């Protein structure tokens, strides 16, 4: 691929996620072609590409929903290739989907509390259950603040706007204390105001969290990306900062239609 060097990927920087020559086909259709990419600690890495480029297939391989045909995927130094979604989540990758995973008849805080408890349940300290419960609730409140819905904890999820529900979904994903957050089009279907709120939320997420995100909206990409990888027919056409990718002649030719 046209790999554009960046200061983000200097020697000695430990990548949180790394794919090594990843390939996936459906019959004769190659949807991931020899794809090697990295996401560093704290990096906001955004995948763009036209419809059918293979973005969701890539996310599905990283999240464990789709098994690669060949190649490897590493989370830090652990080979997670072909592991189940549940195991990959426990190892440190949290994912939000475009479908809703919330409990509509429970409040914001109850949803977050359940998500935190699901993570911590197996380490429940039977001697001090009250302290445990209050620590869970504290973390649920912190998560509500992280996704910008603090102060509204008692609202039922079914009364939240679409944008607020998607904010809460990110809080639910963060409850698993991930090393990498995988976001599939977090602003799809949102109004301009909701999109702006989501940009601010993602920008304010903990600075050491690695984020790999699929996005179509170039305003979102330019607002957030430390690194952009352009997928085209399953192949990484270019990878670099927004400015570097915009300046790539190949990207302008085949994706942005801006040649000349």
Ligand X SMILES: Nc1ncnc2c1ncn2[C@@H]1O[C@H](COP(=O)(O)OP(=O)(O)OP(=O)(O)O)[C@@H](O)[C@H]1O
Between helix 108-120 and helix 129-146 the angle, nearest 10°, is 120
How near is the Cβ of 52 to ligand X at its closest, in Å?
A: 4
Q: Does 46 engage in binding with ligand X (CB under 6 A)?
A: no
Consecutive H or E run containing 194:
helix 192-204
- Residue 248 corresponds to which tokens in the numbers above? 């790539």
How near is the Cβ of 201 to ligand X at its closest, in Å?
A: 22
- Report d(CA 85, CA 158) in Å as an integer: 27
Q: Does 57 engage in binding with ligand X (CB under 6 A)?
A: yes
Q: Between 31 and 35, name the residue whose CB sits nearer to ligand X.
A: 31
Q: Which value, to the nearest 10 degrees, does the dihedral of the CA atoms of residues 102, 106, 108, 112 take?
A: -70
- Residue 4 corresponds to which tokens in the numbers above? 């554009």
What's the chain's length in residues?
Answer: 260
Q: Between 51 and 154, name the residue whose CB sits nearer to ligand X.
A: 51
How near is the Cβ of 24 to ligand X at its closest, in Å?
A: 9
Contact range with ligand X by CB under 6 A, out of 14-22, 44-52, 149-157, 248-256: 44-52
Contact range with ligand X by CB under 6 A, out of 4-12, 26-34, 135-143, 236-244: 26-34
CA 239 to chain centre: 17
Q: Between 51 and 123, name the residue whose CB sits nearer to ligand X.
A: 51
Q: Does 218 engage in binding with ligand X (CB under 6 A)?
A: no
Contacting ligand X within 174-193 (CB under 6 A): none
Q: Does 49 engage in binding with ligand X (CB under 6 A)?
A: yes
- Report d(CA 196, CA 202) in Å as an integer: 10
Near ligand X by CB under 6 A: residue from 46, 48, 53, 237: 53
| Residue that is written with structure tokens 């903990």 in the block | 206
Q: 42: phi > 0 → left, psi -120 to 50 → alpha, else beta; which?
A: left
Burial group, residue 172, by CB count within 10 angstroms (0-12, 13-18, 19+): buried
Q: Does 212 engage in binding with ligand X (CB under 6 A)?
A: no
How near is the Cβ of 238 to ligand X at its closest, in Å?
A: 16
How near is the Cβ of 5 to ligand X at its closest, in Å?
A: 26
How near is the Cβ of 35 to ligand X at its closest, in Å?
A: 12
| Strand 227-232 versus strand 235-240 pairing type | antiparallel
Binding site for ligand X (CB under 6 A): 26, 29, 31, 49, 51-57
């Amino acid at each position: 691929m046209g790999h554009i060097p960046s200061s983000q990927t200097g020697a000695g920087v430990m990548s949180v996620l790394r794919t090594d020559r990843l390939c996936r086909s459906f019959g004769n259709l190659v949807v991931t072609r020899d794809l090697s990419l990295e996401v560093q600690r704290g990096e906001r890495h955004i995948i763009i590409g036209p419809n059918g480029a293979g973005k969701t297939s890539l996310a599905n391989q990283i999240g464990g929903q789709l098994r690669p045909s060949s190649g490897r995927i590493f989370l830090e130094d652990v080979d997670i290739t072909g592991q189940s979604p549940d195991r990959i989540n426990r190892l440190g990758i949290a994912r939000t989907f475009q479908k809703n995973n919330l409990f509509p008849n429970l409040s914001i805080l109850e949803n977050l509390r359940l998500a935190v408890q699901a993570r911590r349940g197996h380490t429940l300290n039977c001697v001090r259950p009250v302290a445990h419960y209050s620590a869970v609730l504290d973390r649920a409140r912190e998560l509500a603040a992280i996704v910008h819905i603090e102060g509204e904890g008692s609202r039922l999820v079914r009364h939240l706007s679409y944008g607020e529900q998607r904010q809460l979904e990110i809080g639910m994903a963060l409850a698993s204390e991930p090393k990498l957050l995988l976001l599939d089009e977090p602003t799809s279907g949102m109004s301009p105001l909701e999109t702006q709120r989501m940009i601010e939320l993602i920008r304010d997420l903990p600075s050491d969290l690695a984020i790999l995100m699929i996005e179509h909206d170039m305003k979102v990409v330019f607002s957030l990306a430390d690194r952009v990888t352009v997928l085209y027919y399953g192949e990484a056409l270019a990878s670099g900062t927004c400015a570097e990718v915009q300046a790539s002649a190949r990207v302008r030719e085949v994706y942005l239609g801006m040649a000349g």
